[in-house]
Chain A
């Protein structure tokens, strides 16, 4: 082996130059980023969330009905972006959960209700997780999280592999029977960017659903989060949902 013959001064010069060259790729890639959408909506200024008051829900299913109409969800009883579940807890501890047509046609009386201990409705939708498992598993990057915390699907890049449907712990996704791409609730993103609230919140006759910005100091959602004891679905999965429930029963899994 040859002994490396190098002056101390020369060594330091080369070291500085080679370290500086590491930053070259960063200089080449353009830093220009315009986070503001066309129309002036700034996604970084918002962080959307929904609150749901279980004690107010009457199970009329107007939310599920409005969602289907607003978003052209197929009118078949398997495709829902939001739906209402009815929980019936019986005296022996047995629990049944049903959601006939997602609650769109309302609920019928349960014939066993004499043995009922308690019962309630739970509206469900995509939880718009802060750490979404669906985004992690998507092989084409077709589903992604925007700066305001909403999970969207790029239907042109979705190949319909259904990995995300498997990965979602809340069963919030479905494969559209015609387009063969995955669809899900996106908080009516097309309404949000124009300053409107989701259609389900708009039509809820009992104000069970509360919608707002978590970044604002005063919004209906911030008020909801101040005034209620809240819980999220499946907190042990660390998905950190942004759909919050007040008055959630322990049987809701």
Chain B
């Protein structure tokens, strides 16, 4: 006790008086902090815990695609084997959470108008090569897509006559090029089955320079205006299509 008293006598008066406002400010800070900082602050991290609850209480509208199987197993089974196997039901039919809770009260819509399928299948040069595309202006104009194609098992209704029914991107490019009048089969020998099972039977691709040489070699029996090169030496170790794109050869 004596020691504390001794310390108290040593501290100057003005410091003791200054302590009063300091203690007041600290007390005010503690009281204000108690009211201003939310009680659940810091439970998970440096934020309000109930902010997480606000976020995760949001309603779910898109369910998982496996839920559709419970009732529509016939359609799901058909779709499983088709080219659209990886397209989820909700991609076309819209959010289905409400439908699963009340199947009769909340019917889902199926997009039947002609404008919907082209969102994916209209020809755009930005789309990846090989993705099936059409040009809707010339592809059975004004006919609804579903009148020929089943969206759950999208096959061509009949074997296509022209390559460009599927290879619109290449056909469109070739149409602008000097090779416009060369038919696809001139370079790609194509088995007839390719039209029915395109991924099981592939068309051939040229292997040697000889094919291009049939028109572009110096002594080729072809019209004079076709550019000629020495097939044996031109381009050294490369084959033609490593530098030139045969569907759109560059023009100088």
**A interface residues with partner B (beta carbon < 8 Å):** 33-35, 37-39, 43, 55-62, 66, 69-71, 86-88, 105-107, 109-110, 113-114, 116, 119-121, 141, 144-147, 152, 154-157, 186, 189-191, 193-194, 196-197, 199, 202-207
Contact of B94 among A69, A146, A193 (CB under 8 A): A69
B86 touches A106 (CB 8 A): no
Which residues of chain A are near B43, meaning CB under 8 Å?
33-34
**Which of B59, B84, B120 makes the CB contact (< 8 A) with A58?**
B120
Residues 32 to 76 of chain B near chain A (Cβ within 8 Å): 43-48, 51-62, 64-65
**Closest CB in chain B relative to A9 CB, distance in Å:** 16
Residues in B with CB closer than 8 Å to A57 are 128
B122 engages A106 (CB within 8 Å): yes
Cβ contacts A to B, 30 pairs, < 8 Å: A35-B44, A37-B44, A37-B56, A38-B53, A39-B56, A58-B120, A58-B131, A66-B62, A66-B90, A69-B94, A69-B95, A70-B62, A70-B95, A71-B58, A105-B119, A106-B118, A106-B119, A109-B124, A109-B125, A120-B128, A145-B45, A152-B51, A152-B52, A156-B51, A157-B48, A190-B57, A193-B56, A196-B64, A203-B62, A205-B87
Instruction: Return chain B residues, CB-CB under 8 Å to A114.
Output: 176
Instruction: List B contacts of A191 (CB < 8 A).
Output: 60, 62
A-side contacts of B128, CB under 8 Å: 55-58, 120
Partner of B125 from A62, A116, A203 at Cβ < 8 Å: A116
CA distance A207 to B87 in the complex (A): 9
Could you tell me if A205 and B86 are in contact, using CB atoms closer than 8 angstroms? Answer: yes
Residue among B46, B52, B94, B131 having the largest count of chain A Cβ atoms under 10 Å: B52
Decide: B126 and A146 in contact? CB cutoff 8 A.
Answer: no
Interface pair A43/B44, CB less than 8 Å apart = yes
Asked whether any CB of chain A lies closer than 8 Å to the CB of B251, the reply is: no
A66 CA / B54 CA spacing, docked (Å): 21
Mark interface residues in B128-154 (1 if CB within 8 Å of A CB, else 0).
Answer: 100100000000000000000000000
Residues of B with C-beta under 8 A to A196: 60, 64
Q: Which residue of B lies closest to A109 (CB)?
A: B124
- Docked pose: A114 CA to B57 CA in angstroms: 50
* Complex CA distance for A33 and B120, rounded to whole angstroms: 49
A186-B46 in contact given A107-B126, A205-B120 (Cβ < 8 Å): no
Contacting B119 at CB < 8 Å: which of A62, A109, A116, A206?
A62
User: Interface 1/0s, chain B 193-222, versus A by CB < 8 A?
Assistant: 000000000000000000000000000000
How distant is the Cα of A33 from the Cα of B43 in the complex, in angstroms? 6
Does residue B88 face the partner (Cβ distance < 8 Å to A)? yes
Given A152-B55, A190-B57; A146-B44 close (CB under 8 Å) = yes
Q: Interface extent on B, as a size class?
A: 35 or more
Task: Find the B residue at minimum CB distance from A154.
Answer: B51
In the complex formed, the residue of B with least CB distance to A145 is B45
Query: Which residue of A has the minimal Cβ distance to B84?
Result: A205
15 further A-B pairs in the complex, CB-CB below 8 A; given A69-B61, A146-B44, A146-B45:
A37-B52, A58-B131, A59-B124, A86-B126, A87-B126, A106-B119, A106-B122, A109-B125, A121-B126, A146-B52, A152-B55, A190-B56, A196-B64, A197-B64, A203-B88
Residue B243 CB within 8 A of the other chain? no
The distance from the CB of A82 to the nearest CB of chain B, in whole angstroms, is 13
B77 to chain A, nearest CB (A): 19
Given A60-B120, A155-B54, also A147-B45 (CB < 8 A): yes
A144 touching B46, Cβ below 8 Å: yes
Q: In the complex, which of the residues B45, B90, B126 contacts A59, with contact meaning CB atoms closer than 8 Å?
A: B126
Most buried by B among A62, A114, A186, A193: A62
Contact call A154/B86, Cβ cutoff below 8 A: no
Nearest first, the 4 closest Cβ-Cβ pairs linking A and B are A154-B51, A119-B126, A190-B58, A144-B47
Taking the closest CB of chain B, its distance from the CB of A178, in whole angstroms, is: 16
- Of B56, B57, B62, B123, the residue contacting A202 (CB under 8 A) is B62
